[in-house]
A and B are shown apart, each in its own frame.
Chain A
């Protein structure tokens, strides 16, 4: 036990005395949250659009006002013909055009039908569809008001954005950032720490001693376990108070699942260290072999369901995918353990499996 504690103490000293490591461990999560939360928003604001309104009646002007008031749109004033609009699209000056027909209000009142054309620049399909959605939302609101006034037989679509009514991108990013930060800290730093002993030569001396290799490996993981818990707490605090992403479900469950994922990542770190001969290799494997697939296959940036089947299958092997699902369920949807027990079990199974292999692969001799 004494051996174990002394080893953990040594690891803590190493971490505290290495400024670069400290920066990665603590600075990184904060930087990531800020960047993802604020700078890289999926929201599209202040897009320049044009409105072509030949009728200029009360209804069209009302709608136009609504569009003008929206923070998403910036109306380009001087376009009056289709030709102008086409030219602006080609020159990239506008991203969307809203075209009213002539006699908009009359059509609306007398035929109970009126058409509006939304033309969107889909060269970036994401922006294109997003803008159409915003415009539709505004139109929908307007329709609701009108229907309250004079149209009895209309089918109203009621749209509810569950869990995230404001469509805040941060809701998706926070769980994703959690997964990435844990991967980075636990997997990469643990593997580097173990490989460093090999590279520096201290591993030789440690092997020729009564210290059991398992103790060494576990005690290397412990400081990173605690650091990660601190990191998770920091991320959650930032999310709740700065990004305004609430924790709907049980905080305790969230922390417990996070701890499980931390151990999974640590086990991965151990596995990598068993195979890597130098710190550079360990870092490389961690980044390219794990970080990148995590980014792609966790579902955080790109929806898994949209991927071809083989890739969907691959994503099942990525632990972060399960963790991402679990965190979203708890944090955003406010669900309890009953909803996520299967995913938890999978994660647990992966952890045991990884631990078993890495312990088996740990070399008690030099090659």
Chain B
């Protein structure tokens, strides 16, 4: 029985009279690839922020990597990795410098940083480019590099916020292979995406509508219970019910 790395109970976030996230509850097991879907304005980003320790919830409880989202946000930040669509790398630093920087932020020793850097450079076939500025890399490479850096310090959980936006289809799939590998190695992956085919790659998927979790199950279970042939159909069926039409 795999341990739960994320436990959420009735988590709520209110901004004035607007309830962005309305009593959501779910768990994520270690090594799982968990897809967190929802329309724009459904509350996904707000929910993710709370789990990353970036925003204090209004009420409810949640434990991320065993740490309390109200009182232990700093410990949460140390135990997770994060990657957003904007790639979070410094364009005017080299590949190597970016790795050294992030390794340092997460308190890794110089030796560990060096080893990991060599490993990633080799794995991504970026050894000849290691001293090139990130801004000169083609998009697909930046993104794969970004992911590697997000898991550089071997976090228990990595949060990916629409990591594959705008990238060519081959790189997109190579990227997901990296996600699979990380999950196999024991890292839990919490990912949001607008590509419905990517929802299929997840172990379980949750769909948020109007601040609540409207569905949570494996992709195949969701398809059969909604009489749908694809995750896209499932999503459209559920998201269409939304009454909330603005962020």
Q: A and B touching (C-beta < 8 Å)?
A: no
B residues lining the A interface (CB < 8 Å): none
A residues lining the B interface (CB < 8 Å): none
